[in-house]
Chain A
Amino acid sequence: MREDSRQTPETVERFLDSTLGSVDSAEELAVDAAQRAGFDEDDLMKIGMAVRESMVNAVAHGNRYNANKKVRFSVVSNTERFTVRIADEGDGFDFSRLPDPLSEENLMRASGRGIFLVRSFMDEFQIRRLEPAGTEVTLVKYMASK
């Protein structure tokens, strides 16, 4: 992280349509906010990718591109943490049984790497079921220099 980083607290919140265009929008919003927060190019790439993967899950798997369902997207940036929350209105899934994409049986699968990449790129990653419906993921990148 740059030493001259501006760490002005910031909050961004949007309700996005369940489209691939929203995936691009969310990624751009997150990367722009992360840039203002002072993250370097490597972290910007990681944050952007983690947001993209999470948004794809919300849009494609959670809301299934349903025009009547929205994705709630927020970024909260302060002096200690850069936090992105993404919530869909889907039916939820059993996230305790996510397949390991690195296992021999799954390595050559065409899909199933999204959450693994999010966990690889962010410092914290949490999933929770929402009531009455939906799933929310929380992605955190620490502001402190590595």
Chain B
Amino acid sequence: MSVKLNTRQIGDVSVVDVAGRITLGEGSSALRDTLREMVSKGQKKVLLNLGEVSYIDSSGIGELVSAFTTVTNGGGQLKLLNLTKRVKDLLQITKLYTVFDVHDSEVTAIRSFV
């Protein structure tokens, strides 16, 4: 299975539910396209729900980093929600875990946006 994306709005926060595999190719490019579209539409508060991400490779990690850079350079905020053990371990190994604002509760994550 590649990646499945579902976007929903909670107030002024755009939540992207990501499921499946974020790997080089279809998976990472789909995520990239969705986030670019959001930024182009001026959405400043983005929450990536990664609770159903079964697999991510270094390309997928790169897309998370690119997304973070793109959103924050545009004056917005991008946060992560519900990291699986695999994703969390990879972010820690690559020293990126502390770069992102990570949450395990959607309610708390939504409230944390300023």
Contacts and interface: CB of A to CB of B under 8 A. Distances in A.
Contacts of A120: 93
A12 interface: no
A115 to B, nearest CB: 9
B62 A111 contact: yes
Given A101-B94, A117-B93, A49 B65 contact: no
Interface of A: 20, 23, 45, 49, 52-53, 56, 60, 101-102, 107-111, 113-114, 116-117, 120
Interface of B: 23-25, 57-59, 61-63, 65-66, 68-69, 86, 90, 93-96, 99
A22 to B, nearest CB: 12
A110 B24 contact: no
Contacts, number: 45
A102 to B, nearest CB: 5
Given A52-B57, A56-B24, A113-B61, A108 B69 contact: yes
A107 B63 CA distance: 13
B99 A56 contact: no
A38 to B, nearest CB: 21
A120 B58 CA distance: 13
